[in-house]
Amino acid sequence: MEGAVIMGLGGALFEAIEFADGEITNASLRQYRVPRFLDVPPIEVVLVDRPEVEPAGAGETPIMAVAPALANAIFAATGRRLRDLPLTPQGRLA
């Protein structure tokens, strides 16, 4: 679950395939931005015991929830809606 949150953070804030003249310009892992240790806040996972509910995927929901939660936090703090990923003021990596 923690890994899924970190992957969601990457998609929300950093990850983007960049193109120039029809070519990918950040094709290597050295150029493609993913979360690093210093980017990751402390994460506390709380598992809720609900034996009456059938088990389902535990990793999918954290990935999907991060970007909307961050976008709503940015809106609450600034009044500005960011609707493109990654969530940068320009909507794309600079």
**Identified catalytic residue from 2, 18, 52, 60:** 60
Catalytic status, residue 60: yes
Using one digit for the tens of pLDDT, what is the confidence trace for 77-93?
999 999 899 998 775 54
Please state which CATH number belongs to domain 2-78.
Answer: 3.30.365.10
Closest CA to 59 of 20, 17, 7: 7
The pLDDT tens digits of the residues spanning 36-81 come to 999 898 999 888 888 998 887 777 778 888 999 999 999 999 999 9
Q: Would you place residue 1 in the very low, low, confident or very high pLDDT band (cuts 50, 70, 90)?
A: confident
Where are the chain's structural domains? 2-78
Global pTM reads 0.76
The pLDDT value given to residue 26: 93
What residue type is 54 in one-letter code?
E
Q: Is the pLDDT of residue 18 over 50?
A: yes
- Give the Cα separation of 11 and 86 in Å (integer): 6
In this structure, what DSSP letter does residue 91 have? S
Mean pLDDT for the stretch of residues 1-14: 91
